[in-house]
Amino acid sequence: MNVLDITGLTIAFGKTVAVDNVSLSVAPGERLALLGHNGAGKTTLFKAILGFLKPASGQIAVAGHRPGSDAARIAVNYLPETVAFARNLTGREVLEYFSGLRGAPRAEIAGLLERVGLTGAADRAVGTYSKGMRQRLGLAQALIGAPRLLLLDEPTSGLDPVSRHEFYGIIAEAASRGSAVLLSSHGLEEIQNRTDRVAILAQGELRAEGTLAELAARAALRSTIRVTALPGEAERLHAELGGTRVNGTRLDIPCPPGAKLDLLARVGSHAGALADFDLQTPGLDDIYRHFSGQPLREETPQ
Amino acid sequence: MIARIRTVFVQEFRLARRNQWVLLATLMLTLFALALAFFGAGQGAALKADVLSLTAASLATLSVYLIPLIALLMSYDAFSGEVERGALALTLATPIRRWELFAAKFLAQCCAAGIAIVGSLAIAGAAVALVYGTEPAGLWAWARLTATSALLGAVFVAAGLTLSAATGRTARAAAFAIGIWLVMVVLYDLALLGGIMAAGEGVFASRVFPWLVLANPADAFRLYNLAALDAAPVAGIDGLARTLPFAPAAALGALALWLAALLALGMNRTGRIEP
Ligand SMILES: Nc1ncnc2c1ncn2[C@@H]1O[C@H](COP(=O)(O)OP(=O)(O)O)[C@@H](O)[C@H]1O
Ligand SMILES: [Mg+2]
């Protein structure tokens, strides 16, 4: 059974439709990344799962329960986009507080502090923590009571690459213990190899969903071959190969996925006229842009 | 339920202590009480009146300003601060009920304010009694003052928490706290004074006015304490304490009603916070 099931969910603030007919599910132990620009509706979706917002239509089931019910609140745990714990409390006191509210065993706290690497700083005031430590404390808070569903709203924004790496390590560990993880993020690069599936949200709509490989195949983006002609040869190459002139000597030739080798051979037959040659394959960013409806970075007019 | 209320209580009380509110409030109240006691003592000795009773009377007039201010300052940020920091969403994601959260915060801040009030009055009262001696009547007046001060503190803690939950933003909550203090404690009195001067002796002064005094928790507090003191030299609005159309204890009832109403309103507002 899925830990999270969302069907046809729509949430509106007045006239703004923040989440538009979204269906999603997450299985135990699975990590799903929710990708979207600012304002795409990620936080709104999380708040609905927590039961803070009423859907205009559609259903949410958290481990089979209605959001906001006691069973759902126990099953799901949350790390908000921005959270600042009271500066005068120690890390341990913050965890004791949430542990008490969830009725989780107090004995678990030392282990959680250990897992996020805060054992040494546990009895220092949160006000003295670095950004990374505060975020790790937030994650420890989210792990209290071994939740069946972890909601992490842009958990690594503002973290340096090393902290980010450690953060995903802890998340992977939680998933390996059976927690379902739903996390939001701005970029595909960051979550590559770190989540099992990806869902792309744009303007409240779910634009695509699947593994990265599936999304790449579905996007079927063109590569671009960029050649630099020897002086005086650009005109002739353009006539022979098509594409667009970028400046006096450069030429960009769009290349559909199936036609790569073919085109390469044709370019090769003009080897004598070339000064340089470059193949640009679509990156993760391009796949993301493709689905979220933003123009490609260097899209070439046909 | 009890475990959750205790959890929030412990945390909230800890914060009040670490923010030094308890210490600051105790110091401030103790200093004012001692100053009133020893500056007023010469007058008391001349009148051959009990110094403790006299100090209780003058302190009742001063507490009306101080205690609401302290209580509002302690409580105005209790919800709005957490909403702004994003921490309230985390609390509300746990199985806690909204009313439990409000009740726990209220209890913790009442304890903090109560400790400051009882502590400072006990220190000052003991000092006065030791230096000038006292009578049972003086001790009673002091005890009444202490208990009703704590009640007044509770009313304004409830008011502060309610406006904190209702506004949801620290800056607005602060503005409302100052506004409530000004209106309830300062302007209300001025308006009443103006009203009675304009109306003179008559139906307004004898029938309407006492109830208007009773309707404000700060005035009700002062009225009760002054009405219970025979020796106190009273004037102005407080002269009314001698000619009430109701028993002084009605003032306590007014305070209790305010407290109950504010608690109900506060829990209602807490239920509507959108984290
Ligand atoms: N409380 C609110 N009232 C009105 N509009 C809101 C509210 N919260 C979010 N929105 C709107 O809903 C949309 C989605 O916002 P959000 O879920 O915060 O996006 P994201 O988290 O993906 O950046 C935005 O257009 C935002 O302006
Ligand atoms: Mg967001």
pLDDT(B53) > 90? no
Best residue in A73, A92, A97, A134 to probe B by mutation, most B CBs within 10 Å? A97
Looking at the complex, report in whole angstroms how far the Cα of residue B206 sits from the nearest Cα belonging to chain A. Answer: 52
Name every chain A residue with its beta carbon within 8 A of the beta carbon of B10: 97, 100
Largest CA distance in chain A: 78
10 Å CB burial of residue B118 (0-12, 13-18, 19+) is: middle
**Rounded CA gap, A200 and A33, in Å?**
8
Best residue in A98, A101, A153, A182 to probe B by mutation, most B CBs within 10 Å? A101
Looking at the complex, report in whole angstroms how far the Cα of residue A51 sits from the nearest Cα belonging to chain B. Answer: 8
**Rounded CA gap, A10 and A21, in Å?**
5
Residue A298: predicted pLDDT: 42
Strands A244-245 and A250-255, bridge-based pairing? antiparallel
- What pTM was computed for the model? 0.86
Cβ-defined contact of B86 to A93 (cutoff 8 Å): no
| Cβ–Cβ contact A182 with B under 8 A | no
Ligand 1 pocket check: which of A9, A16, A183, A186 to mutate, most ligand atoms within 8 Å of Cβ?
Answer: A16
Between the CA atoms of A125, A131, A133 and A136, what dihedral angle is there, to the nearest 10 degrees?
120
pLDDT digits (tens, 9 = 90+) for B190-244: 888 888 778 777 777 777 788 888 889 998 998 888 877 765 555 555 556 556 7
| Locus of tokens 């205790």 | B6
Residues B243-255: what's their mean pLDDT? 82
Sequence-ordered list of residues with C-beta below 8 angstroms from that of B110, at least 6 positions apart, any chain: B150, B153, B154, B157
Name every chain A residue with its beta carbon within 8 A of the beta carbon of B8: 97, 101
pLDDT digits (tens, 9 = 90+) for A133-155: 999 999 999 999 999 999 999 99
ipTM confidence: 0.88
pLDDT(B127) > 70? yes
CA of A39 to the centre of ligand 1 (A): 5
Domains of chain A: 4-217 (3.40.50.300), 222-281 (3.30.70)
Ligand 1 nearest-atom number relative to CA A81: 21
| Cβ–Cβ contact A137 with B under 8 A | no
Ligand 1 pocket check: which of A43, A200, A201 to mutate, most ligand atoms within 8 Å of Cβ?
Answer: A43
Name every chain A residue with its beta carbon within 8 A of the beta carbon of B89: 47, 50, 52, 78, 80, 83
| Cβ–Cβ contact B89 with A under 8 A | yes
B56-70, B75-89, B127-141, B166-180: which has the minimum mean pLDDT? Answer: B127-141
Cβ-defined contact of B4 to A85 (cutoff 8 Å): no
Q: What is the DSSP annotation of B116-133? A: HHHHHHHHHHHHHHHHH-
Mean pLDDT across chain B: 87
Largest CA distance in chain B: 64
What are the residues facing A31 on neighbouring strands? A181
With b meaning 16 or more CB within 10 Å and e meaning fewer, what string describes B135-163? eebbbebbebbbebbbbbbbbbbbbbbbb
> In chain A, which stretches have pLDDT less than 50?
295-302
Count how many pairs of residues, chain A against chain B, have C-beta atoms within 8 Å.
72
The protein residue whose alpha carbon is closest to atom 8 in ligand 1 is: A44
* Three-state secondary structure string covering A111-124: HHHHHCCCCCCCCC
A230 vs B27, residue with greater confidence: B27
CA of A61 to the centre of ligand 1 (A): 22
Contact yes or no for A27/A180 (Cβ under 8 A):
yes
| Locus of tokens 């709509």 | A205
Residue A295: predicted pLDDT: 45
Nearest to B4 among A50, A93, A101 (CB): A101
10 Å CB burial of residue A128 (0-12, 13-18, 19+) is: exposed
* Nearest ligand to the CA atom of A36: 1
CA of B93 to the centre of ligand 2 (A): 17
Assigned token pair, B48: 């051959």
Name every chain A residue with its beta carbon within 8 A of the beta carbon of B14: 89, 93
Query: What Rg value do the Cα atoms of chain B yield, rounded?
Result: 20
**Rounded CA gap, A98 and B87, in Å?**
11
10 Å CB burial of residue B122 (0-12, 13-18, 19+) is: middle
Strands A31-35 and A57-62, bridge-based pairing? unpaired
Number of H helices, E strands in chain A: 11, 13
Residue B46: predicted pLDDT: 58
CA of B225 to the centre of ligand 1 (A): 53
**Rounded CA gap, B60 and A215, in Å?**
74
Q: What percent of chain B has pLDDT over 70?
A: 91
Cβ-defined contact of A101 to B95 (cutoff 8 Å): yes
Contact yes or no for A76/A62 (Cβ under 8 A):
yes
Looking at the complex, report in whole angstroms how far the Cα of residue B65 sits from the nearest Cα belonging to chain A. Answer: 29
| Cβ–Cβ contact B23 with A under 8 A | no
Q: Which alpha helices (H) appear in B133-201, and where do they start and end?
A: 136-167, 170-181, 188-199
Interface of A with B in 27-86 (CB under 8 A): 47, 50, 52-53, 70, 73-74, 76-78, 80-86
| Cβ–Cβ contact A265 with B under 8 A | no
Ligand 1 pocket check: which of A38, A44, A52, A182 to mutate, most ligand atoms within 8 Å of Cβ?
Answer: A44
Cβ-defined contact of A98 to B11 (cutoff 8 Å): no
Cβ-defined contact of B90 to A84 (cutoff 8 Å): no
